[in-house]
Amino acid sequence: MSSQPIVLYEARDRKAYITLNRPDSLNALTLDMARELADAVARANADDEVRVIILTGSGRSFSSGYDLKLYAEQGVDNQGDLWDPIKDYASMRAATEHYFSLWRSLKPTIAKVRGHAVAGGSDVALSCDLVVMAEDAKIGYMPARVWGCPTTAMWVYRLGVERAKRMLLTGDTITGAKAAEWGLVLEAVPEPELDGAVEALADRMATVPTNQLAMQKLMVNQAYDNMGLQTTQNLATLFDGITRHSPEGRWFMEFAQTHGFHAATKWRDAGGLIPNGGGPIPTEAEVSAL
């Protein structure tokens, strides 16, 4: 196991840089990472010299979502045959609150996305105030097909009803360029220009007094709270637990434990049939043929 911190923190020039740091797994999320992310956000908020927070991922990806090798293939934290929905809700609600520390932060947060911000990684990116993507980066919530519901519920609040349904009823991904066109994210730029674009945006905000930034952000966020954001998240978090323990969710976990999580996610994301009520796990030949 790596001795490297799973979340890196650095502050300079009135900006805090928080980096998800599991590059070998494309910064796959764990509950420990969620906690450390929230701690880093709190650290930035406690630093009077910091005015803006930039969140990114190490290596070639922002985040590939929850670590399915742990949670699906190996069944870590799986409750077995007797599922306690409140225990599940408490765990996932805590993770959602950790991610949403980015939204609740009094200091503005910018997600810098290259590679992927998919599945749970999209929850993290969309918890930031602003998202800047590389044009060829991918964003989406593939577990909408099976084994997940986006607990932050930010797809509908950022996209509107039809495009949110378009994404969540298919589990498709879109490029950064398309995400910017649809208004899901602020901007998409060619990958070589991503660092410079984020720095320029953060530097512009970092000349504004901290209290001004906080008041503008609180005012905008309050409008979303008035639209029922917290209630929607409560429902989404409950549904997320149900999706992982439904017959179809258990079928997916058995698939991952039989063929490995890479094969399971390939079947899910490429459009393999997911049977209502579960059913036989596809054979090796069927998996290879997809």
CATH number of the structural domain spanning residue 113: 3.90.226.10
Model confidence over 240-261: pLDDT tens digits? 999 999 999 999 999 999 999 9
Q: How high is the pLDDT of residue 1?
A: 46
Q: Is residue 251 part of a domain?
A: no
CB 64 within 8 A of CB 28: yes
**Given phi > 0 = left and psi -120 to 50 = alpha, else beta, which region is 208?**
beta
Which residue type does 236 have?
A: A
Q: Is residue 200 part of a domain?
A: yes
Q: Is residue 169 part of a domain?
A: yes
Q: Is residue 211 part of a domain?
A: yes
Model confidence over 121-160: pLDDT tens digits? 999 999 999 999 999 999 999 999 999 999 999 999 999 9
Q: Is residue 64 part of a domain?
A: yes
Q: Is residue 280 part of a domain?
A: no
In percent, the amount of the chain with pLDDT more than 70 equals 97
Number of domains the chain is built from: 1
Q: Is residue 274 part of a domain?
A: no
| Structural domain containing residue 88 | 7-245
CB 109 within 8 A of CB 53: yes
CB 18 within 8 A of CB 55: yes
Q: Is residue 77 part of a domain?
A: yes
